[in-house]
Copies of this chain bind each other. A is one copy, B any other.
Amino acid sequence: MTAWIWGAGSSTFGRQTDKLPAQLAWRALQEALADAAISRVEAAFVGTVFGTLGVAQRALSGVGLTGIPIISVENACASGSTALHEAHAAITSGRYESVIALGVEHLTSLFDGPIALDPTDREQATGLLFPGIYAMSASRYMHDHGASPEDLAQVAVKNSRHGSENPRAQRKRALTLEEVLASRLIADPLTLYQCAGLSDAAAAIIVGSERRTSRDVALRASVLRSGGPWDHASEHVWGYDIVRDTARDVYRASGIGPADLDVVELHDAFTIGELVTLEALGLADDGAAPAAMGAGRFSIGGAQPVNPSGGLLSRGHPLGATGVAQAAELVWQLRGDAGSRQVEGARTGLLETMGGGTAGLDGNACVVAMLEAT
C-alpha cells in the first residue's frame, strides 16, 4: 500500500561536538516541515539507538511539535529505517494521516572506537564487534568467489567519489584505491576507509496519506524482517539471506523488481556489506558484484547507481539517522534535486538497511523500502 512522502530534511553529517542531538534534529525537522509546507503532523516515530532519554521529545518540541504521540524505536543500524517503516505502517493502516519519521544519533559524544553494544555478551568480549564480524564476512566472500582486496576497496572509492559531491557528507574527499588499501588495518581484510566512522546527524521524512503535489514521492512498500542466530550458518555470507528475503517481499508488494531500479541507497557500513547486499538484492549474480562495480554499473552515470549520497561510508552512519537519511537522498534523487550527484531520470529508488547481529545468539533486522517518483 502506498504512503506519500511530503517532505525530507537532514542535518550535515560528521563529528559535531558543538551541537546537541536535539539541535541536529531541529535542522532536519525544520527542513522537512518547510519542504512539506506544513507545521503539524499527528504523530512521530523516532529512530535512535543511543539517544538519551527525552531526546525525541526535546527534538520535536523544539519545532513546535509538542503534544503529539512520540514513539522512539530501535533496531540497531536499522533504527532509522524502522522509524520510516512504522511511519509507513501508520499511514497505510489508516491509523494516522500525517506522521514524521525522525532519526537522530550523536555517536562521537559516546564512543571513541568501535561501538560496544552489550557488556554481558561473551562473543563481543572476545573482540567480535562489528568490524570483526564484517571482516569474517569479507574473508568468506573472498574465499567463495575469489574476490581480491581491491574488489572490496573499490566500494569505498566509488562511494567516496559520490560523497565528494554531497555537501552534507562526513567524508568529502574522493579516495584512491591505493589510499583505501593503504589505510590502517582495522580487521583483516578491512582497512580504515572500508569502515564507516562515528557520525552525528539527524534526518526527517514527512509521510502522508494522500498525494498532494507532483513533488510528493510514493512510498510504495516497506518490509521489516528479523533474522535469527542460524543466519550465521547459511551457505551465503552473513546477512545475505535476510536481505534477499526482505527485498523479495518488497519487490512483490510494489511490483517493482531489481531490474527496474534507477537508484539505490544501501547499507555499506563496511565495504563487504555493499557487495553482499548488491547480490542479495538481485542487482548482481552471486560473486558478480565486484566486476559489475568495476565496470561502472553502480556509479553515478552507470546503469544503476548505488549510494549516490556517499553511503554510510562517506555520507556517514549515525545509526538511528541512517535509514531516514537514505530516504531523504532518494527523495532528492527522485525529484531531480540532487545537484551534481543527480542520477539522471531516476524514477524508482530502493533503500536497505540491516541492523544488529553481532552476537551468535542475536538475530538481526532488515528493512527494505521502495520509493517512486509520481
Contacts and interface: CB of A to CB of B under 8 A. Distances in A.
A339 interface: no
Interface stretch (A88-96, A155-163, A257-265, A323-331): A88-96
B228 A67 contact: yes
B227 A67 contact: yes
Interface in A57-83: 57-58, 60-62, 66-76, 82
A31 interface: no
Copies per assembly: 2
A325 to B, nearest CB: 20
Given A71-B73, A73-B72, A224-B71, A53 B118 contact: yes
A89 B109 CA distance: 35
A113 interface: no
B61 A361 contact: yes
A76 B58 CA distance: 13
Given A49-B53, A57-B356, A73 B70 contact: no
Contacts of A73: 71-74
A357 interface: yes
Nearest to A46: B74
B119 A69 contact: no
Interface stretch (A144-152, A300-308, A362-370): A362-370
Interface string A75-118: 11000001000100110011100000000000001000000011
Contacts of A119: 52
Interface of A: 20-22, 49, 52-55, 57-58, 60-62, 66-76, 82, 86, 89-90, 93-95, 109, 117-121, 224-229, 356-359, 361-365
22 contacts: A49-B53, A52-B117, A52-B120, A53-B118, A53-B358, A54-B121, A54-B357, A54-B362, A57-B365, A58-B361, A58-B362, A66-B227, A67-B228, A68-B226, A69-B226, A70-B363, A71-B86, A71-B224, A73-B74, A89-B90, A90-B93, A93-B94
